[in-house]
Structure 1
Amino acid sequence: MTALTGLAALATAWVAPAGTARTAQPWRPVVMAALGDSISAGFNACGWYLTCASRSWSTGDHQSVRSQYARLRALDTAIAGHNVNLAVPGSTSADLAGQVTRAIGRRADYVTVLIGAQDACVSEERLMTPVAVYERRVAEALALFRAGRPGGRVFVASVPDLKRLWQIGKGNPVARGFWAIGRICPTMLARPTSTSAANRARRDRVRARVAGYNAALARVCAAYGPACRFDGNEVFRQRFTVGHLSPWDFFHPNAAGQKLIAEKTYAMMRDWLTDDATEPVPAPVPAPAPVL
């Protein structure tokens, strides 16, 4: 027996001790992209009607926010500088496929999605995006991402509870002034002090539409498979306060609100970052919070 064949025999005969498990390398994205609307763009988080990508909960790099990107960069510097914010204020689900195409062009291997508020925040209820249309658009956009970046992963955040934002600001005359002048989310925020049955019912219907969008997100993400993580309505059920809202519109999250979203969403995908030996289990989807 030669030395070479002896080594080969030893290698063949070696068996891992009982209880030894193979561990895969923890997942680490290299290029991250934020997709969605004004929330992910950081709109009004640092100035008067400005897009503040540095304060985005997703890809922001400002230390006050501790975004998902900042937390991922602390784990592995390979992602440093590869944070792309493709979210556009005013975007609806109809715009998501275009953003996905741009993310593929930037070779993103991890994208976050937060979109839907503008599908509900329209001038009249009849113009709100139907849930079935919203679901189809999101599913088609994520299918594009899977085809273009088959090894990529997706984090889907729930749409915030618009009625909670109304509840926070309805008693504040400054907030009501901004809502009226800026025509901000009329379906929910028009006639904010009215207690009539018609206006209460309108707010409840808008809230129900947002809950329908979030249920659709859960279905689309589950169909995508373990490479997609839905937040289980974590953002929707957050009890945001006035201290989390921009003082320039009392609607968009300020830096503190962006930080809260980052903290809550990052916690939902932490298992991806520690041990990839088993497939991640999607977060449970609790029932929507009771109507306020």
Structure 2
Amino acid sequence: MGKRNRRVRAVLAGTTAAVLGLAGCAASGDGDGTKSSGARARQVKPSPSPTPVWDSSPASVAAVGDSVTRGFDACTVLADCPEVSWATGSSAEVNSLAVRLLGAAKAATHSWNHAASGSRMADLPGQMARAAADEPQLVTVMAGANDACRASTAAMTPVADFRAQFEDAMGTLRRALPKTQVYVASVPNLKRLWSQGRTNALGKQVWKLGICPSMLGDADALDSAATLRRETVQKRVEDYNTVLAAVCAKDVRCRFDGGAVYDFRFGTAQLSHWDWFHPSKDGQARLAEIAYRAITAKAS
């Protein structure tokens, strides 16, 4: 019995020591006062802040679009004046978007204007391809007015075609530059431009040379046929803006102006004193302000 008791006590002592040893490891981690590797693995590391998708300070700008972006009729009659372009112009009177974003010196070498007077949405894919070759960080788009400004309402670009052409233009850019940002301006309110410009006799004479006949033709006519014609043009402009907003919304790096250009109440000070339809230098400056606010606004 004595020997057996000694053996039992020895076994119990060894078991107790092992249990206490395990408990000590669990309490002290690696035995040196640090936490165990398992505990370290369970610690939650803070995730890095995500990189913002929209950069409010792009380092280069390319512009595509129509006569408005070319500064048409802002300096001389029936002529482009790209130095006063709202998007890329160098004029201090306008303080263009490129100058606001980059500064005058850098804007001179890091901005490009590929817009063309008279162009329609069908021309935008080609302009986008030329803009992509410059590898800009931002592309501005202002197009669609000439799709509504046709010889007749029947000649206006169908909405479905307008959508397909804009999607083609965006696809052209995205295949070349997946991360370039795009600012899309709404089509101006052509009916308001008619209502402002028709008060000027000289402007109406210039309109007869072929400026936006679907809206500006027979400027003083107020009969039912003329009213219906202008309302048809206006509705098409609104449909175009709906398309621009919808297509842009599908691209995470695209910002539509929310209708800001369409809503802007151009007065006589903001209209060309040659044709009373295109923006004057002051009008170009207002367009630059609208674009700058949209591009630098914080994401909602």
Quickly name the TM-score band, shorter chain normalised. 0.7 to 0.9
1:188 counterpart residue number: 215
1:70 counterpart residue number: 99
Compute the displacement of 1:21 (Å): 7.7
Compute the displacement of 1:27 (Å): 4.7
> In structure 1, the residue corresponding to 2:226 is in which secondary structure?
helix
Percent identity reads 39
2:282 counterpart residue number: 256
**Higher relative contact order by CA 8 Å / sep ≥ 6: 1 or 2?**
1
Compute the displacement of 1:79 (Å): 5.3
Distance 1:16 1:232 in 2: 41
Quick one: structure 1 residues 46 and 16, their matched pair in 2 at CA, closer, same or farther if it must change by over 3 Å? Answer: farther
The Cα RMSD (Å) is: 2.4
Matched-pair contact (CA < 8 Å) for 2:184–2:255: yes
The structure 2 residue matched to 1:173, chosen from 196, 201, 205, is 201
Task: Select the structure that is richer in helix.
Answer: 2
Equivalent residues in 2 for 1:6-85, closer than 5 Å: 22=49, 24=51, 27-74=56-103, 81-85=109-113
The structure 2 residue matched to 1:90, chosen from 118, 121, 135, is 118
Q: Deviations over 1:172-216 (max 9, x none)?
A: 211111111x12111001111111011111101100000000000
Quick one: structure 1 residues 268 and 185, their matched pair in 2 at CA, closer, same or farther if it must change by over 3 Å? Answer: same
Q: Which sections of structure 2, spanning at least 5 residues, go unmatched?
A: 1-39
Matched-pair contact (CA < 8 Å) for 1:29–1:79: no
> In structure 2, the residue corresponding to 1:81 is in which secondary structure?
helix
Q: Which structure has the larger Rg?
A: 2
> In structure 2, the residue corresponding to 1:41 is in which secondary structure?
coil
State the aligned residue count.
Answer: 259
2:225 counterpart residue number: 198
Distance 1:80 1:44 in 2: 22
Moved over 4 A (4+): 15-18, 23-27, 76-80
Compute the displacement of 1:59 (Å): 0.9
Quick one: structure 1 residues 170 and 79, their matched pair in 2 at CA, closer, same or farther if it must change by over 3 Å? Answer: closer
Matched-pair contact (CA < 8 Å) for 2:65–2:114: yes
Distance 1:179 1:79 in 2: 34
Distance 1:77 1:54 in 2: 14
Compute the displacement of 1:77 (Å): 6.8
Compute the displacement of 1:124 (Å): 1.2
Quick one: structure 1 residues 16 and 28, their matched pair in 2 at CA, closer, same or farther if it must change by over 3 Å? Answer: farther
**Which TM-score applies when normalising by structure 1?**
0.82
2:264 counterpart residue number: 238
> In structure 2, the residue corresponding to 1:84 is in which secondary structure?
strand
Letter in 2 for 1:148: A
Equivalent residues in 2 for 1:206-217, closer than 5 Å: 206-217=233-244
2:249 counterpart residue number: 222
Distance 1:139 1:148 in 2: 14
Matched-pair contact (CA < 8 Å) for 2:99–2:107: no
Distance 2:281 2:128 in 1: 26
1:268 counterpart residue number: 294
Letter in 2 for 1:133: D
Q: Which sections of structure 1, spanning at least 5 residues, go unmatched?
A: 1-11, 273-279, 282-292
Compute the displacement of 1:171 (Å): 2.4
1:125 aligns with 2:139: no
**Which TM-score applies when normalising by structure 2?**
0.80
Distance 2:61 2:222 in 1: 44
Matched-pair contact (CA < 8 Å) for 1:246–1:252: yes
